[in-house]
Amino acid sequence: MKIYKTLHIGEFHTNHCEDFLIEEQIGTNEKLLAVLDGCTMGTESVFASILFGKILRNIAKNKFYEEFVTDNSIQLKDKLREVVKILIHETKLFKNQLGLEINELLSTLIIGIVETKESKAEFLTIGDGLICKDGELIEYEQDDKPDYLGYHLGDDFDSWFDSQEQKVSISNFKDLSICTDGIFTFKNLENKSEQKPENEIIQYLLIDNKGEEFDNFLDRKIRVLKDKWSHLVTDDLAIIRIKNNL
């Protein structure tokens, strides 16, 4: 199983890339994956996406160590639930310690745990973004008013988590991607008449396999979009793509 990643600042952003991504071992055959998109209208929005990502990375390391010591593994759904619960708890601690306001903690999140041996996964999306499983697109679009994790820090966790409708269980995948909504923002800024359809760009980045032998597979594709197609990503973009060639 090969995991490719790319993170790009959008052409219309000048200071920081407000997206973030993580890929971390959380179990013997399990990876914790996440892509995050800080809210541009929030305060220093790059902070929220990076903070959540760093917390998740630490959670994964601790969970991996716990499993190694206790030899006690749990179902993917239960593990994902536990990870999100810890993420919210840790975020509340940082909020109180640093005196943060809610508008400093606004980031969308696609988070999942992938069982690499059996090619199955569990995902939760908070806000918007895109999941692609073997060419099938699962798009979460919220009319430019996405939900944010920061809005729910004071909610009863069990009630909030159980009410989430943007959960998906995936099995027997060969090609699986998660990405922020920046994937919908590629533009030909030189010649609008030669703008490629959205689905063609998605197909090229998330389905096409040309160049998969390179570790920087996705970076190369974005370079081709820029150099040969004159298409630039205008919003920040984070993609994780997993290919199971077994």
Each residue of 120-163: pLDDT tens digit? Answer: 999 999 999 999 999 999 999 877 677 899 999 999 999 999 99
pTM over 0.85: yes
* Token pair listed for 84: 């999100």
Alpha-carbon span 141 to 201, nearest angstrom = 18
Each residue of 170-203: pLDDT tens digit? Answer: 999 999 999 999 999 999 988 888 899 999 999 9
